[in-house]
Structure 1
Amino acid sequence: MHLSPGSEAPSCRHGLFRSHWRFGTNSTILTYFVSPHMVIKNEEMRSLELSGQVGFNSLPHQVVRKLVSQGFCFNILCVGETGIGKSTLINTLFNTTFENEEADHYEREVKLRSQTYELQEHTVKLKLTIVHTVGFGDQINKDESCKPILDYIEAQFEKYLEEELKIKRSLSNYDDTRIHICLYFIAPTGHTLKSLDLVMMKNLDSKVNIIPIIAKADIMSKTDLGNLKKKIMTELQSYGVQIYQFPNEDEEVGEINSSLNARLPFAVVGSTEDVKIGNRMVKARSYPWGAVQVENEEHCDFVHLREMLLRVNMDDLREQTHSRHYELYRCCKLQEMGFKDTDPDSQSFSLQEMYEAKRREFFKELQHREESMRQMFVNKVKETEAELKEKEKELHERFEVLKRMHQEEKRNLEEKRRELEEEMNAFNRRKVAAETLMGQALQGCSQQPLKKEKDKKK
């Protein structure tokens, strides 16, 4: 653990500048007040010898006792294709069987499934959260495979930042769900990395600690496996993908971590099956030609992965998540909110003044937006009125055209009616004349026989 500057900016109270320092990753804050008129001289630190036992040498034991009583949390994100062996490897790492639903290859989108377990080894309690990426790489269109995973990681950062910015916060009891490590499972194809793997790891390297893993390494020979490791590391370096590097500054673990860095990416085999090899039972995978022992360094890198993940660098992974990835996210968010750091030589500012300035800026922007929306509304109303007038004009013109057409048709109909009446009158006259002629003809025919009879009588 170490002392590092906290996230809060110096503030002024009663003529004193207040600064905060954070102890490790805990929420303990050391506060000191310095007068702006106080002149601090840079003097060398003097070492003094104690004449007797004081007692502060028990401070590390007090810290350990407190941390053990509180317990620890560790969150693992497993990214890889369906059926590549993610669940089996996690079960093998923690020597237990976690509950996990089997996934198929027909998921329409990537879904993240989080499961939390309470584990205890001797007196140490561990709250373990495992996040599985269900359906990753199973879609035909893989453009949207990265977004759900990135959104989930940023959502956990956002929750922690919201807790930090609360007035009454309780970070010591906060359920930290930030991802501490991403185990990225690579298919043992013997070729190079897929484009999806490169894009995914490039998007993840600034948000989480990445450990690349070659899954099911027992299907490849040692020569092919060594060549694949070199290809993967070469591609990661050429594309600028930053994976987690085990720290080698500490003398106690520096040598171990240097050897672990040379073995990246880890080629692992997972199995929960106990197989009898000689006179002892070991975790292995049985084949007709023999057995692949999980904890045999000649067969795979499982032992080195467990050494790195659980026994040597678990605290460093937690520290890197907080001090590097979360701090990067936090800085970007606070800059978006308008906060900024002051130079050492510049005049300090108060949060109250910044709040008032941001409040005035917000109301000014709100007023500007309101005025803009009002003007937009007025313009929209004017445009609508103009459109309605134009449509009214078009309707009026169309009405006049239809009216003229109606009057024209009416005149035509009146003319046709007059013509028809005239034809009817002419027909009636001809009919009357014909009937008159016919009556005269009939009358003439009836008088001729009478005349003949009279002539005969004479």
Structure 2
Amino acid sequence: LCGQHHVFSLAGLFQDKNARPLALSGHVGFDSLPDQLVNKSTSQGFCFNILCIGKLETQTQLLQKNHTVTAGKGSNIYQHIVDYIDTQFESYLQEELKIKRSLHNYHDSRIHACLYFIAPSGHSLKSLDLVTMKKLDSKVNIIPVIAKADTISKSELHKFKIKIMSELVSNGVQIYQFPIDDETVAKINTAMNGHLPFAVVGSTEEVSIGNKMVKARQYPWGVVQVENENHCDFVKLREMLICVNMEDLREQTHTRHYELYRRCKLEEMGFRDTDPECKPVRNMIIKLQDALIELKKCERSTFKFEQLKRMHAEEKSKLEEKRRSLEEEMSVFSKRKAATELLQAIKEDKK
């Protein structure tokens, strides 16, 4: 709604005495607009893609939704992940640049949240983790997560969290901070920002606790429940991702990370809106003219090459013809020579 109000005269509607008045069957008002948006979103559905990065046994894996891509090993491992994220941005950009685009039913494969799993060493971040997160922080919303949090004590875990956040700040790594500008979620997001990085425990096994089965890890000394907030931060992570900040993650991906990628790509094409003297159409025409000049140069070079090639073929053909002529003359000469020698031999025999 743009704040414009239109007033229509209803006097003509009541001139007809036979007009039948109708009672409203329900509430009518602008406050029903959010319900309409919710109903539309739930009926059409929406995309929310999570990228998990971490070390699995001896291989570094990049997992996204229902498939796994092996990124490889080495100090430049982050490049595979960066290329993957850029590929998703490029696919969306190509769809936007189409003349007949259909973004309403386009399957958005852009990464909205990146869960970066950190090994529970209890000491500090690895240099590879810092480099990787630094390369990714301008392309995706990074949420650091400590994996296998049940392998270290609570006191060590608390110190480890403080150490991780200190190293991220000192190295200039921008992780995703839960927004606090909205009053409805400011309190819970402020509290959750203090719990970063989340320490989680994962399990696919169900253990009987009391009268119900829960996801947990069974140890000789006890049970670690996945969904028990006293044991790990899995519930906090799930609530922040799904219940509270999903739309903000989607919005940050589109308005910040994707817009940065889109701006860089358009600047490479000659489009700049920060320069008042910038004229994109003129720049494209100049680039097209330069390309045509280069094309004509290539055509001239190709023509000269073809001409030289044709001249070479003609010279070669002439030389081949001359060679065949010489071979024929040599053959005739050899025959005459043989005939002359034969006649001389006959004459000598007669004498």
**Residue 132 to residue 224, structure 1, CA distance change in 2 (3 Å):** farther
Question: 2:34 maps to what in 1?
Answer: 60
User: What's 1:195 paired with?
Assistant: 127
Secondary structure of the corresponding residue to residue 74 of structure 1: coil
Map 1:443-458 to 2 at 5 A.
none
Q: Pick from 55, 63, 67: which aligns with 1:81? A: 55
Q: State the one-letter code of the partner of 2:70.
A: V
Contact 1:76 1:131 survives alignment (8 Å): no
Deviations 1:193-235 (A, max 9, x none): 1111011000000000001110000010001101111111111
The correspondence of residues 33-432 of structure 1 with structure 2, limited to 5 A, is 55-83=29-57, 105=58, 112=62, 114=64, 129-130=65-66, 132-134=68-70, 139=73, 142-341=74-273, 355-367=284-296, 370=298, 374=301
CA displacement at 1:55 relative to structure 2: 4.3
Q: Give the secondary-structure state (helix, strand or coil) at the position aligned to 2:214.
A: strand
Shift of 1:171: 0.4
Structure 2 CA distance for partners of 1:243 and 1:49, relative to 1, 3 Å: farther
Native 8 Å contact 1:181 1:208 kept in 2: yes
- What value does the CA root-mean-square deviation take over the aligned residues? 3.3
Shift in Å, 1:112 = 4.8
TM-score by length of 1: 0.57
Amino acid at match of 1:294: V
The structure that has the greater radius of gyration is: 1
Q: Distance in 2 between matches of 1:68 and 1:46?
A: 29
Partner amino acid for 2:285? E
Q: Is the 8 A contact 1:182 1:211 kept in 2?
A: yes
Note closer, same or farther for the CA distance 1:366–1:257 as it changes in structure 2 (3 Å cut): farther
Displaced runs of 4 or more, over 6 A: 45-50
Query: How far off its partner does 1:156 sit?
Result: 0.4
Quick one: which amino acid aligns to residue 97 of structure 2? L
Find the aligned partners of 2:117 and 2:145 in 1 and give their Cα distance.
Answer: 5
TM-score, scaled to structure 2: 0.73
Closer, same or farther: CA 366–113 of 1 in aligned 2, 3 Å: farther
SS state of the match for residue 80, structure 1? strand
Query: Displacement of 1:320 after TM fit?
Result: 0.5
| CA distance in structure 1 between the aligned counterparts of 2:28 and 2:224, rounded to whole angstroms | 57
Gaps of 5+ in 2: 11-26, 309-351
> Once the two structures are superposed, what CA deviation does each residue of 1:252-301 show, in whole Å capped at 9, x if it has no partner?
11111111100000010011222222333322111000111112211111
CA distance in 2, matches of 1:282, 1:325: 38
After superposition, what is the alpha-carbon deviation per residue over 1:416-454, rounded to whole angstroms, capped at 9, x for unaligned? xxxxxxxxxxxxxxxxxxxxxxxxxxxxxxxxxxxxxxx
Distance (Å, rounded) in 2 between the aligned partners of 1:214 and 1:229: 8
Equivalent pair of 1:181/1:211 in contact (CA under 8 Å): yes
Give the conservation status (yes or no) of the 8 Å contact 1:78–1:133. Answer: no
Structure 2 counterpart SS, 1:175: coil
Given that residues 112 and 249 in structure 2 are in contact (C-alpha distance below 8 angstroms), is that contact kept between their aligned partners in structure 1?
yes
Identity of aligned residues (%): 60
Kept after mapping to 1: 8 A contact 2:216/2:226: yes
Secondary structure of residue in 1 paired with 2:123 = coil
Q: Contact 1:111 / 1:148 at 8 angstroms: preserved in 2?
A: no
Distance in 1 of aligned mates of 2:96 and 2:192: 35
Matches of 2:83 and 2:267, distance apart in 1: 20
Aligned length: 289
